[in-house]
Amino acid sequence: MRAVHNIEPVFDEGSEILILGSFPSVKSRETEFFYGHPQNRFWRVISAVLDCDTPVAVDEKKNMLLENHIALWDVIESCDIEGSSDSSIKNVKVNDFSRILAKARIKRIFANGGTAYNLYRRYVGGDIVRLPSTSPANAAWTVERLTEAWSVILKNRSGLV
């Protein structure tokens, strides 16, 4: 089934880090915000890395990211996908990252998992750092291990809060 990305990127002129997922899950598309499935550990991991309370509301999530100079989006604008399965992704159309890169001062781009990393490398090219996926499908990684691995993003921000 053809699916279209329905979530606007989170960024502003102060964003220095760009974190990219592959494509929103069914639950995220329903809630119209990133990592909307309660089993996804993204918000717990990123708030632990930033030493913040885990945000609940969309506005809290956006504010936490922007206050910490982090932009968030996905690699894919539209694709054929079965449910939320990254392995089923076909016929990819990539997002236009120039809208972020022209306004923000992105120093480093990180991929949330292998699919985002591989899609970015294949369709966009350029430098990107692969981080372990926060998806519940990546059950081998605990929240603690993910937090430790994801802490690398702190080394790439100048505006620590």
How sure is the predictor about 157, in pLDDT bands with cuts at 50, 70 and 90? Answer: low
How confident is the prediction for the chain on average, in pLDDT?
92
> Which residues touch 100 (CB under 8 Å, ≥6 apart)?
9, 11, 15, 18, 71, 73, 106
pLDDT for 26: 87
**Residues marked as catalytic:** 40
* Reported pTM: 0.93
Task: Give the up-direction half-sphere exposure of residue 106: CA atoms within 13 A in the CB hemisphere.
Answer: 24
Alpha carbon distance 17, 34 (integer Å): 16
How sure is the predictor about 1, in pLDDT bands with cuts at 50, 70 and 90? Answer: confident
All structural domains of the chain? 2-156 (3.40.470.10)
**Could you read off the pLDDT of 68-125 as tens digits, one per residue?**
999 999 999 999 988 877 778 899 999 999 999 999 999 999 999 999 999 999 999 9
Alpha carbon distance 147, 83 (integer Å): 27
Cross-strand pairs, 20: 73, 111
Alpha carbon distance 19, 112 (integer Å): 7
pLDDT at 161 over 60: no
Alpha carbon distance 109, 19 (integer Å): 6
Q: How are beta strands 70-74 and 17-21 bridged, if at all?
A: parallel
